[in-house]
């Protein structure tokens, strides 16, 4: 067959191992890490799903090589812990049986031990070791590693690599980026040593070289070793891209693949994991430059989810391999869909950080658009229903679309009704905000997948009690969503007011100065959009803080973007009247002030359409309510509830 993306689909040999395509699953930490730091069964299933979806390689992350100096609650691989070797073996087998190469990431956090602990207070009891004695920004003291301890850690990398090979892994990734220990040695910011491990670049790379030599000695020739490094630390005092090129040149003789990432712990989360506020592939330039100077293959990553972009990266020689993490959470079948020329079926990552926020808060995984993530052990297949039924779904937002899709996959006759002239629900409005466009696309993609499964979609069709009774469905899934919350503020119905949900219909009506009334997630993101368009923006929020409904990973980046855009923020203010000149507000002491603006954007939240729900309760033998009509929340809740409502029929 003629492949639409031939370079992306082409096999590649790294060391003595052939990988079936150029799409690799980047390291992603597991979830059910046992008390003994072994891999739990949920995590095995988590990694297997990426392999089953067609990724050429799946990397298990992160294995702490030297717990004596790195007490984080991450994976350990040793012979002393009961279940350690076997858990890694079963995981490698789960990956390999789908044709993917199982890889494992060997790591040491150095002075940032304990970063991923849910209980952050426990960091106080951990030993913090680094290349040099210092005090961390959070006040924790860092001890300098002795030459003897360095040698012990180097040997530990080799021992773990040998055990990984014994367990069935066919590639080793050594983590040398993101501010972890090896990166700390490479960095002039962290490394202030005066011995053979500090000072010149040749001395600062010595630890990494010794680690790689130790791994090679234990895995033998031809066994692929991948070195993950930051192409640049991207902050003042850290090493530059020019330094990154030299580091790569000093590493290439010891590795089979250079994996070029970006940033460090200092630079921040949103650089290493590009947010929705930056372009896809914003870190690819680092790999492209380093590739010009080395002879070994180079991998790149950073918010990649578009096959056309990834094909161009390979075809133009910017990199030899593309790694994806979040994109393969959103759609584990992305590589298989690319191989089969079904790229229009890809459910794209929204870069919303639900996945990483959930891991930090609850030590689990969840994905806004993929309800399987973190729950793969419950079943990765959609099982056909024993008895086929007629299913009516009311509302074609993300929850209703997911419910219709899954019900159809189970073999039911599914009718999906949408009161408006377009699917997507509240996501329809996201087309007007460029950095949220993939949320709009989600509705279109889910609708296509549903129709491909035989769902009958009826637009401009409101499900009333009479309509539902006439259809006489066996099951009714109510997904009618929510409506904007509009408080009884004087002037709120004025011509200068646009409800944020309707902005996409009234883009041309927004003038040069804007007041966004409501500082929740929707209001903040709208304010950023208007500011990027060059408008003067004021953001008014009744609470003392902005975006309290945003997740803990997205919120800091959102607030930082508000600062960058120089948006005038007014918290603790209640809007009491919309006037031609702006919004008259009142503070907590009753003092009034006018926040000037020609256009007012009402973004004060949503309220569930409970009246519609109550009308439809008795319209089928089996009734389920999902999404915003239960309680206004987010895409994650709607998709998850829709998925399981369909499975229950």
Q: What is the pLDDT of residues 328-371, one digit of tens each?
A: 999 999 999 999 999 999 999 999 999 999 988 898 999 999 99
Q: What is the pLDDT of residues 428-451, one digit of tens each?
A: 999 999 999 999 999 999 999 999
- Over residues 518-531, mean pLDDT: 98
Calpha distance 619→627 (Å, rounded): 19
Q: Which of 38-42, 115-119, 253-257, 594-598 bottoms out in mean pLDDT, i.e. has the lowest?
A: 115-119
Q: What is the set of domains in the chain, with CATH numbers?
A: 6-353 (3.20.20.70), 390-483+608-647 (3.40.50.720), 497-604 (3.50.50.60)
Confidence of residue 30 (pLDDT cuts 50, 70, 90): confident
Among candidates 264, 348, 351, 231, which has minimal Cα distance to 303?
351
CA atoms within 13 A on the CB side of 601: 35
pLDDT for 566 beyond 90: yes
Beta bridge partners of 541: 571
Q: In this structure, is the dihedral angle defined by the CA atoms of residues 120, 125, 131 and 137, taken in order, positive or negative?
A: positive
- Residue 506, CA distances (Å) to 168, 522, 547, 550 in order: 58, 17, 24, 26
Tell me what pLDDT residue 214 has. Answer: 98
- Over residues 288-292, mean pLDDT: 98
- In sequence order, the 6+-apart residues with CB closer than 8 A to the CB of 342 are none
Beta strand ranges found along 7-97 (DSSP E): 12-14, 17-19, 23-29, 57-64
- Over residues 453-480, mean pLDDT: 98
Residue with tokens 């234990």: 218
- In sequence order, the 6+-apart residues with CB closer than 8 A to the CB of 221 are none
pTM comes to 0.95
pLDDT for 138 beyond 90: no
Q: What is the pLDDT of residues 273-284, one digit of tens each?
A: 999 999 999 999
Question: Do residues 646 and 406 touch, judged by C-beta distance below 8 A?
Answer: yes
Question: Do residues 71 and 127 touch, judged by C-beta distance below 8 A?
Answer: yes
Q: What is the pLDDT of residues 311-329, one digit of tens each?
A: 999 999 999 999 999 999 9
pLDDT for 123 beyond 70: no
Q: How many CB atoms lie within 10 A of CB 31?
A: 20
- Residue count (the chain): 649
Calpha distance 441→521 (Å, rounded): 19
Beta strand ranges found along 374-466 (DSSP E): 390-394, 413-417, 456-458
Tell me what pLDDT residue 38 has. Answer: 96
Confidence of residue 616 (pLDDT cuts 50, 70, 90): very high
Confidence of residue 89 (pLDDT cuts 50, 70, 90): very high
Calpha distance 264→232 (Å, rounded): 9
Tell me what pLDDT residue 232 has. Answer: 96
pLDDT for 6 beyond 80: yes
Question: Do residues 565 and 531 touch, judged by C-beta distance below 8 A?
Answer: yes
Percentage of the chain with pLDDT > 70? 98
Structure tokens belonging to residue 70 = 């790195």
DSSP letter at 325? S
Helix boundaries (H) for 374-520: 398-409, 437-452, 465-471
């Amino acid at each position: 067959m003629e492949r639409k993306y031939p370079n992306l689909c082409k096999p590649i040999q790294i060391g003595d191992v052939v990988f079936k395509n150029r799409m690799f699953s980047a390291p992603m930490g597991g979830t059910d890490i046992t008390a003994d730091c072994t891999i739990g069964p949920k995590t095995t299933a988590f990694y297997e799903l990426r392999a089953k979806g067609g990724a050429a390689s799946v990397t298990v992350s992160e294995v702490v090589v030297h717990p004596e100096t790195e007490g984080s609650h991450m994976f350990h691989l040793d012979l002393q812990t009961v279940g350690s070797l076997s858990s890694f073996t079963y995981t490698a087998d789960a990956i390999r049986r789908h044709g993917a190469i199982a890889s494992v990431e060997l790591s040491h956090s150095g002075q940032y031990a304990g970063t991923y602990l849910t209980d952050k207070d426990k960091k106080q009891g951990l030993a913090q070791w680094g290349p040099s004695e210092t005090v961390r920004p959070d006040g924790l003291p860092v001890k300098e590693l002795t030459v003897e301890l360095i040698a012990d850690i180097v040997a530990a990398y080799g021992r773990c690599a040998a055990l990984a090979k014994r367990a069935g892994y066919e590639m080793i990734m050594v983590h040398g980026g993101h501010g972890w220990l090896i990166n700390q040695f490479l960095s002039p910011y962290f490394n202030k040593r005066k011995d053979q491990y500090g000072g010149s670049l040749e001395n600062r790379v010595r630890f990494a070289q010794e680690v790689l030599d130790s791994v090679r000695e234990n895995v033998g020739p031809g066994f692929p070793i991948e070195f993950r490094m930051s192409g640049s630390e991207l902050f003042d005092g850290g090493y530059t891209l020019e330094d990154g090129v030299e580091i790569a040149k000093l590493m290439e003789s010891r590795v089979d693949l250079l994996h070029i990432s970006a940033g460090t712990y200092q630079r921040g989360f949103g650089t290493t994991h590009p947010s929705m506020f930056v372009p896809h592939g914003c870190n690819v330039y680092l790999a492209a430059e380093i590739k010009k100077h080395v002879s070994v293959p180079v991998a790149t990553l950073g918010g990649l989810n578009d096959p056309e972009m990834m094909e161009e990266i390979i075809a133009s020689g910017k990199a030899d391999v593309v790694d994806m993490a979040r994109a393969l959470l959103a759609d584990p079948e992305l590589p298989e869909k690319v191989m089969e020329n079904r790229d229009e079926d890809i459910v794209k990552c929204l870069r919303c950080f639900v996945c990483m926020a959930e891991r930090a808060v609850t030590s689990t995984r969840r994905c806004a658009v993929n309800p399987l993530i973190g729950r793969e052990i419950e079943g990765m297949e959609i099982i056909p229903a024993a008895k086929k039924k007629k299913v009516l779904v009311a509302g074609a937002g993300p929850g209703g679309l997911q419910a219709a899709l899954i019900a159809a996959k189970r073999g039911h006759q599914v009718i999906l009704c949408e009161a408006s002239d377009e699917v997507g629900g509240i996501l329809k409005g996201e087309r007007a905000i460029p950095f949220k466009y993939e949320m709009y696309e989600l509705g279109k993609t889910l609708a296509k997948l549903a129709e491909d499964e035989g769902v009958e979609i009826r637009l401009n069709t409101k499900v009333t009690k009479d309509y539902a009774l006439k259809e006489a469905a066996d099951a009714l899934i109510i997904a009618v969503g929510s409506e904007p919350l509009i408080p009884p503020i004087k002037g709120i119905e004025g011509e200068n007011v646009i409800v944020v949900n309707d902005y996409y219909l009234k883009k041309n009506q927004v003038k040069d100065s804007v007041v966004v009334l409501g500082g929740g997630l929707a209001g903040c993101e709208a304010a950023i959009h208007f500011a990027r368009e060059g408008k003067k923006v004021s953001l008014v929020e009744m609470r003392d803080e902005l975006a309290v409904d945003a997740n803990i990973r997205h919120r800091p980046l959102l607030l930082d973007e508000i600062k960058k855009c120089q948006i005038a923020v007014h918290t603790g203010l209640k809007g009491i009247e919309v006037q031609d000149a702006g919004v008259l507000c009142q503070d907590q002491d009753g003092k009034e002030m006018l926040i000037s603006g020609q256009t007012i954007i009402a973004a004060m939240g949503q309220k569930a359409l409970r009246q519609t729900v109550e009308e439809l309760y008795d319209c089928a033998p089996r009734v389920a309510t999902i999404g915003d009509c239960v309680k206004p929340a987010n895409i994650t809740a709607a998709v998850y509830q829709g998925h399981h409502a369909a499975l229950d029929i």
